[in-house]
Amino acid sequence: MIRRAHLLLLALAAVVAGGCASVPNPDPSDPLEGFNRSVYRFNDAFDRALAKPVATAYKEVLPDPVRNGVRNFFSNIADLFIGANNLLQGKPEEALTDWGRFAFNTTFGVLGIADWATDMGLDKHNEDFGQTFGRWGAGSGPYIVLPFLGPSDARDSVGTVFDMHFDPVSNHDPVDERNAAILLRVTSQRADLLDASRLLEQAALDPYLFMRDAYLQRRRSLIYDGRPPREE
Amino acid sequence: MFARVDRVLAGIALVTLTGLAGATGADTPPDALVKNVTLDVVGIIKNDKDIQGGDRKKIVGLIEAKVLPHFDFTTMTATAVGLGWRKATPEQKTRLTEEFKTLLVRTYASALAAYSDQRFDFRPLHARPDDTDVTVQVRIIQPGQQPVSIDYGMEKTASGWKAYDVVVGGVSLVANYRTEFGNIVRAEGIDGLIRNLHAKNQSLEQAGEQGKK
């Protein structure tokens, strides 16, 4: 875990150091565009060569119920931590919902493999440390594309370090089980994004810009739980 | 005599129009309109093996017949192009709108092709009866994932309510094109943007045909 956090910080330092490359039409929200674009290309190549083919195979080979079970299992573990973030953001009712989901799905949903809580009307939330910092008033800072992890910004990069530190899967022992679990989770998440990434390729004239602007809009919406104040 | 024929013709026209418009007439409230069109389209997809098998032409035809009439593409294009729009000639505006519409329809077709059994939650409309600009909210509910919100920005026009933006999970489709379009207009002008959009649409067309083989 600690080693991974170091890698992340190293990557960040590299991004900051490389941010000087000049680009046409620089955008104030993206001072690191030159370097971000090279990391984006690297991530895209990695995705095409490995992540996407693996995720595609995963989706083709495993039947829907199995993949739903995998998704639900990891989603259930995440609910604990989503509840903690809701509490940190001063939303105890939402936190109770998250923990209620966890208690219910872990028992009746057999270790979270079935998500009965959603059917009961306990909606799943989307929270992480980046959003918590945003809720506390931290600005996004410059947009950053992280190696392997993709779109982020200065605030969310710090948030990601915290997310990883408190992630029960990343902290699991023994290590080989942990690595297998992380691999499975990443594959499941990438598989869920196959349709979205195809849409991005189709819709965008410049996928880098499209992804960046979508990320910044999306995070802003998430911080305010879907009700952001109107921009000036 | 002619006056009566006129009245009969008007009557036939009225009946035909109402019949065509069906549940989506000009006076249908915006939330009912979104719900009717969504359920109608999803119902057709569910019962159409060709569309489920990825028949592009059929799905685009479905969108053109059922969805397009309820969108205001000129406003969408104007918002996406931003400042450059005012400098465009009427002919450039028409061509831009046409190309952008084609791109959005294709994207929408792919999104629909990915549809599988998600549940819709049509939210109650928060608006006063005399409002002419409202947001219609729909949520897609799926197990193990946060519901995806789809907000339609809609405006009342003489021919019924028309959507001028779609906001998916907090991401406005129209706003998301603004930077891209702005950059191209600055570098290559309005005609450059038309060229770029046209080339993009053509490459998608070719990719679609290759995909079928």
**Which of B83, B108, B145 should we substitute to test contact with A (largest number of A Cβ atoms within 10 Å)?**
B145
Model confidence at A29: pLDDT above 50 = yes
Q: What is the pLDDT of residue B18?
A: 43
Query: Which residue type sits at B154?
Result: M
**B197 chain-A contacts, CB cut-off 8 A:** 205
Q: Does A62 touch chain B (CB under 8 A)?
A: no
Q: What is the pLDDT of residue A20?
A: 45
Q: What is the pLDDT of residue B81?
A: 95
What's the pLDDT tens digit per position in A202-220? 899 999 999 999 999 999 9
Cβ contact A184:B92 at 8 Å: no
Instruction: State how far the Cα of B205 lies from the Cα of A92, in Å rounded to an integer.
Output: 51
Q: How many other CB atoms are found less than 10 A from the CB of residue B163? A: 22
Q: Does A118 touch chain B (CB under 8 A)?
A: yes
Q: Output DSSP code: residue A228.
A: P
Cβ contact A36:A80 at 8 Å: no
- DSSP bridge pairs for B138: B122, B150
Q: Across the interface, do B110 and A206 touch by the CB < 8 Å criterion?
A: no
A123 Cβ contact partners less than 8 Å away, ≥ 6 residues apart: A97, B141, B146, B147
Task: Enter the tokens of residue A121.
Answer: 């009307």
Cβ contact B200:B102 at 8 Å: no
Q: Does A201 touch chain B (CB under 8 A)?
A: no
Nearest to A72 among B141, B144, B200 (CB): B144
Q: What is the mean pLDDT of each run of 10 residues along chain B (213 residues)?
A: 52 47 66 93 87 83 92 95 93 96 88 78 89 93 83 93 93 92 93 96 80 48
Query: Residues of A153-187 as b/e, b for ≥16 C-beta within 10 angstroms?
Result: bbbbbbbbbbbbeebeebeeeeeeebeebbeebeb
ipTM of the complex: 0.80
**B143 chain-A contacts, CB cut-off 8 A:** 68, 71-72, 114-115, 118-119
- DSSP bridge pairs for A144: A152
**Which of A74, A105, A124 should we substitute to test contact with B (largest number of B Cβ atoms within 10 Å)?**
A124
What's the pLDDT tens digit per position in A133-163? 999 999 999 999 999 999 999 999 999 999 9
pLDDT confidence band for A6 (50 / 70 / 90): low
Q: What is the pLDDT of residue A13?
A: 55
pLDDT confidence band for A232 (50 / 70 / 90): very low
